[in-house]
Structure 1
Amino acid sequence: MAEPLIVKICGIKTPDMLEVAIEAGADMVGFMHFLRSPRHVSVEEVASLISEARGRVQTCVVLVNPDNSCVAEIAALGPDWIQLHGPETPHRVEAIRAEAGVEIMKALPIGGPEDIAHVAAFAQIADRILLDAKPPKGADRPGGLGESFDWSLLKALDPGLDFMLSGGLTPDNVAEAIRTVRPFGVDVSSGVETAPGVKDKRLIEAFIRNARAAQ
């Protein structure tokens, strides 16, 4: 029996959308604490969203190259996961994991075969790996920014590696992504939005429904 697929809805900003994601059957929700993101939420908002979600869905706070005080402040709120989405080195990921005492998901941008080569070093340290599209050249923030990457690159990965897939996923392509790539989980943010940072109830429900059906 295959493990149940993990579905993560990321970039949630409001209690209303948190409820929508939980009711639609999300396994994880992500909150973005990064000023340059249209999905940024303050520490106070993160605290309130985490307490609202506690015991109902796994919570994940996304940080980009955080300093130690930021890590400590977020870890104190008691999320289930911290997701590192910046240029953190394996050494830095290890240090943050030791300091935070929270499970760490490391997002790694994939654009070509050379990026696949870096995955193994992080896989030994992070509790979970999230493979995302490389940002377009000149982008001011990390992530696929709504674009997917060439999934065939993942054939070069260690077949024993569990990972989550992100980058350009939508209700329309998530089933194909799951059948093609066989990830441990899928993660969506802009693919369930009507405008940057504006989540849509119907898109969230369709994404989760299509992801579950594909499994």
Structure 2
Amino acid sequence: MKIKICGIRSQDDLKVCEEEGADLIGFINIERSKRMVEIGEINTLISSMKDVTKAVLVIEPLDITDAEEKIIKSRITNIQLHSLSPEEISELKEKFHRKSAENKTQTSPNLTITRAVGISKVINRDKRREIENFADICDFLLFDYEIQGKTGGTGRQIPAETAIKAAKIAKHRNKDVKLTLAGGMNTARIKNEGKKLERVFDVFDINSGVEIKPGVKNINKISELMEIKQNN
């Protein structure tokens, strides 16, 4: 079981996440989010990280150019996208691949792309096709509860059987794609359903489930979460 703690906004919370053993740490640069952090602030936060490869930049870019600018400015190459089509993601990856080939003597960008896919209670034909199309091109898919076409920050959970069905669709399409489950994740759900869910999911993404209020983490909840992880 791998744990990603998302919505980090302070050095104190970042330090706790690192010390407690979070596998991934997310920084949200989306204006509609209550946990929005400017790119400059993200730069300051990650400068103190012991392992910057754990950092994940969460963005909802307007287009490829916007995404590219945010990636370059943040210097983070684990990217979680809440927008862009499969075709745009393919183009974005190709751009960075070309840069990598052109800059052999420099530190070359090696993007890991996670695409958030919104799920509610039912997976219809269009949603199945969306999952399959993103599974074709992305390194990770992240399933989060969807409300009115928006994912992230809802605090609602995808029913376990629906989440497992989405995971199986993605894996049937691309056995190498990694899968993350988000949406109201907390210690109670991981205690009760963790063993069943981790059969198909590689990462659990927790945000509000370890908070005092939006953007302020609860140390005790993080410790409890990591204890569950260690005992699984």
Band of TM-score, shorter chain: 0.7 to 0.9
SS in 1 for 2:138: coil
- 2:155 paired residue number: 146
Percent of pairs with identical residues: 27
Of 192, 206, 211, which aligns to 1:176? 192
Unaligned runs of 5+ residues in structure 1 are: none
Q: Which stretch shifts more, 205-214 or 15-24?
A: 205-214
The aligned residue for residue 123 of structure 2 is 113
Larger radius of gyration: 2
Give the TM-score normalised by structure 2: 0.80
SS in 2 for 1:62: strand
What code does the residue aligned with 1:130 have?
L
8 Å Cα contact 1:133/1:149 also seen in 2: yes
CA distance in 2, matches of 1:73, 1:65: 10
Partner amino acid for 1:95?
E
Residue-by-residue CA offset, 1:28-71 (whole Å, 9 max, x unaligned): 10000011211001111111122222526511000013434432
In 1: Cα distance, 2:50 partner to 2:77 partner: 9
The equivalent of 1:81 in structure 2 is 78
- Partner SS, residue 53 of structure 1: coil
* Counterpart in the other structure of 2:213: 195
Corresponding residue of 2:49:
53
Aligned-partner Cα distance in 1 for 2:65–2:13: 29
Query: 28, 34, 38: which is aligned to 1:32?
Result: 28
- Counterpart residue identity of residue 113, structure 1: I
**Aligned residues, how many?**
206
Partner Cα separation in structure 1 for residue 9 and residue 24 of structure 2: 14
CA distance in 1, matches of 2:50, 2:141: 23
Deviation at 1:73, TM superposition (A): 2.9
1:166 to partner: Cα distance: 0.7
Amino acid at match of 1:167: G
In 2, Cα distance between the equivalents of 1:144 and 1:211? 23
Structure 1 pair 37/205, CA: closer, same or farther in 2 (3 Å)? same
Name the CA distance, whole Å, in 2 between partners of 1:117 and 1:35.
28
Q: Which moved more, 1:59-68 or 1:158-167?
A: 158-167
Could you say which structure has the higher helix fraction?
Answer: 2
Compute the RMSD of aligned alpha carbons.
2.1
Which residue, out of 37, 50, 55, partners 1:41? 37
Q: Could you tell me which amino acid in structure 1 is paired with residue 223 of structure 2?
A: E
C-alpha contact 1:63 1:84 (8 A) present in aligned 2 = yes
Q: 2:224 aligns with which of 202, 206, 211?
A: 206
After TM superposition, give the deviation of residue 198 of structure 1 in Å: 1.8
Q: Is the 8 A contact 2:33 2:153 kept in 1?
A: no
> Which of 123, 128, 134 is equivalent to 2:135?
123
Structure 1 distance, partners of 2:93, 2:62, is: 12
